[in-house]
A and B are shown apart, each in its own frame.
Chain A
Amino acid sequence: AQSVSQHNHHVILSEAASLELGCNYSYGGTVNLFWYVQYPGQHLQLLLKYFSGDPLVKGIKGFEAEFIKSKFSFNLRKPSVQWSDTAEYFCAVTAGGTSYGKLTFGQGTILTVHP
């Protein structure tokens, strides 16, 4: 079974600072990778996803993530954060093939951006 680890529980930044959130997964086969965001009081929304092709994936709101297969990592980045990026961020994976789309989530990283 696959597992996902997000190393940062809570990240605090000032506006305009750069962001990188770590995500590592454990699985021996093909995986598909996702980053979801949950703004305060709201449901989860997809930021970006990777399943093949260019390992650098661009998502909504200026976010991007890089899949490094050799490191089993899929870190999320943003060059300059805004106060409105304050949210909880979840990395998730599905196993390729017959996984019925089941997501395995990391523990989540709370991002607080100060104006």
Chain B
Amino acid sequence: NAGVTQTPKFRVLKTGQSMTLLCAQDMNHEYMYWYRQDPGMGLRLIHYSVGEGTTAKGEVPDGYNVSRLKKQNFLLGLESAAPSQTSVYFCASILRGLSTDTQYFGPGTRLTVL
């Protein structure tokens, strides 16, 4: 049981390049989330999914797209990377989406956009 995993762990992009971050969970969780972490700002929700085939916008969705084609995977895409997207990205999941559920986080992806 690996929990929540993220690929890649580190990435450096040039402005305008695209990339996809992969999040995978093996806990059969329904809900998945993408956050970004910036110094002094905590974690902010980018997008989330309440089940396979569904996605919804979070607090800071601009410049990102997501897809949840399989229940266990949640992909975060940057179509045209900008320096403002330099951040650490965390994926998380919960079993049922109840407000009392504990979120399980992945190890993070550190992205630098030059």
Interface positions of A (Cβ within 8 A of B): 4, 6, 9, 32, 34, 36, 42-46, 49, 51, 90, 92, 94-97, 99-108
B42 touches A101 (CB 8 A): no
Interface status of B48 (Cβ within 8 A of chain A) = yes
B90 touches A43 (CB 8 A): yes
Q: Tally inter-chain residue pairs, CB-CB below 8 A.
A: 67
What are 27 inter-chain pairs, A to B, with CB distance below 8 A? A6-B42, A9-B40, A32-B100, A36-B105, A42-B107, A43-B4, A43-B107, A43-B108, A44-B43, A51-B100, A94-B100, A95-B99, A97-B99, A100-B31, A100-B50, A100-B97, A101-B94, A101-B97, A101-B99, A101-B103, A102-B48, A103-B43, A105-B35, A105-B44, A106-B42, A107-B41, A108-B40
The contact of A108 among B42, B90, B94, B101, by CB within 8 Å, is B42
Residues of chain A contacted by B48 (CB below 8 angstroms): 100, 102
**Binary per-residue interface labels of chain B (90-114) against chain A in the complex, 1 for a CB within 8 Å, 0 otherwise:** 1010100111111101111000000
Interface status of B45 (Cβ within 8 A of chain A) = yes
A44 touches B105 (CB 8 A): yes
B105 touches A94 (CB 8 A): no
B40 touches A32 (CB 8 A): no
B99 touches A94 (CB 8 A): yes
**Binary per-residue interface labels of chain B (74-102) against chain A in the complex, 1 for a CB within 8 Å, 0 otherwise:** 00000000000000001010100111111
Given the interface pairs A43-B106, A100-B31, A102-B33, the reply to whether A90 lies near B99 with Cβ below 8 Å is no
Measured in the bound complex, the distance between the Cα atoms of B44 and A8 in whole Å is: 19
A44 touches B99 (CB 8 A): no
Task: Looking at the assembled complex, report how far the CB atom of A14 sits from the nearest CB atom of chain B, in whole angstroms.
Answer: 25
Which one of A6, A44, A101 has the highest number of Cβ atoms from chain B below 10 Å of its Cβ? A101
Measured in the bound complex, the distance between the Cα atoms of B105 and A108 in whole Å is: 16
Residues of chain A contacted by B31 (CB below 8 angstroms): 100-101
Measured in the bound complex, the distance between the Cα atoms of B28 and A5 in whole Å is: 33
Chain B, 20-54, CB within 8 A of any chain A CB: 31, 33, 35, 40-45, 48, 50
B103 touches A105 (CB 8 A): no
Measured in the bound complex, the distance between the Cα atoms of B48 and A51 in whole Å is: 22
